[in-house]
Amino acid sequence: MKNIFYIICIAIFTFSCSEESHELNTSAEISNTKTFEDYIAFNYADVDNKITVQRMGALNTTASINTISTTSKIGAIELELDGTPFKGDNIYYGKNATNWTNNVEDLSMFYGKEVTIDLSNNSLQAKNGSSSNSVSFYIPDIIVANLYNLNEGRIQSGSYITWNSDSENANGITLAVEYKPMSQTDEDMYNDYSERLIKAITVDDIGSYTITDADLAEFPDDANLTFYVGRVGYVLETGSEGSNDVYVAAITSMRADMRIDKN
């Protein structure tokens, strides 16, 4: 199953982009979405509380960036992830929401299993109006990916990516390629292709994908690109009146910067 989308920003890979609001169906029937558009809609949904757990790595290195971020229309969120407490080191109290983001040394122990998040500020209301302040959901395995069949280190049609598949992950794998004008060293390319471009697809979590001519068609030859691969687990809980809802997402992703060869 493949769904190709041309979009402005990809939130699950921490691209810098402005906030947008989308109408979101918060009914109990939501589960196991498998399109890239779903990820975008969920991330930018206008919910009361949002928690994001994220681990970003890079190809050919074991280093990673681990963060937990929250935003709430109700107040500063304090949470426990499988009993481990987290609260904001530096809290921003905005006009419409309270936010914080913490860099964490390691979050790997929470991936590849079902976890429970507990909140202490009573912002979490389980569905059907329960008084519980906890929610459980599955966080996929940390993704480990590699690129093969490159042409002198450049992506080409026929290059392929492999990753450790997760049989418990029903949300698929998102693959994305990003072109940024400011990353180009050729002045003519910068002038001729002055708009940022991201192309993304979502595929089943089966462990490999081969890049095609169509995947690279929109990008200029010899451009510097950033390649992303990732997967996400998430859950949305709402109060009995459809208010005081909470969206929790856990992301694992990797990136690589390289040129493309279309000849």
Q: Does pLDDT of 33 surpass 70?
A: no
Closest by CA position to 52, among listed 234, 240, 238, 257: 234
185 alpha carbon, distance to own chain's centre = 28
Confidence of residue 28 (pLDDT cuts 50, 70, 90): very low
Q: Does pLDDT of 174 surpass 50?
A: yes
| Average pLDDT of the residues in 6-18 | 35
Phi, psi of 195 (to 5 degrees): -105, 140
In order, the DSSP letters of the chain are --EEEEES--GGGT-------B----STT-----SHHHHHHHHTB--SEEEEEEEEEETT---EEEEEEEEESSS--EEEETTEEEE-SS-EE-SS-EEEEEEES--GGGSSEEEEEEESSS----GGG----EEEEEEPPPP-EEEES-BTTBB-TT-EEEE---TT--S-EEEEEEE-GGG-S-HHHHHHS-S-EEEEEEE-SSSEEE--HHHHTTSPTT-EEEEEEEEEEEEEE--TTS-S-EEEEEEEEEEEEEEB---
Confidence of residue 5 (pLDDT cuts 50, 70, 90): very low
| Average pLDDT of the residues in 142-151 | 93
Mean pLDDT of the chain: 79
**pLDDT of amino acid 37:** 55
| Average pLDDT of the residues in 48-62 | 86
Global pTM?
A: 0.80
**pLDDT of amino acid 15:** 37
Closest by CA position to 162, among listed 206, 200, 227, 213: 206
For 200-223, the pLDDT digits (tens) are 888 899 999 999 999 999 999 999
Distance CA 249, CA 228 (A): 18
Distance CA 110, CA 138 (A): 9
Q: Check: CB of residue 250 under 8 Å from CB of residue 111.
A: yes
Tokens of residue 79, six digits: 């949470």
Residues of the chain above pLDDT 90, percent: 46
Q: Does pLDDT of 32 surpass 50?
A: no
Confidence of residue 237 (pLDDT cuts 50, 70, 90): confident
| Average pLDDT of the residues in 111-133 | 68
Task: Specify the residue for token string 């169906």.
Answer: 25
**pLDDT of amino acid 47:** 79
Tokens of residue 134, six digits: 């906890």
Q: Does pLDDT of 52 surpass 70?
A: yes
Q: Does pLDDT of 77 surpass 80?
A: yes
Q: Does pLDDT of 41 surpass 90?
A: no
Residues of the chain above pLDDT 70, percent: 75
For 177-199, the pLDDT digits (tens) are 889 999 999 999 999 999 988 88
3-state class (DSSP) for residue 125 = coil
| Average pLDDT of the residues in 20-38 | 40
Q: Does pLDDT of 118 surpass 60?
A: yes
Which of 8-22, 24-38, 116-130, 174-188 shows the lowest per-residue confidence on average (mean pLDDT)?
8-22
**pLDDT of amino acid 55:** 92
**pLDDT of amino acid 199:** 86
**pLDDT of amino acid 155:** 93
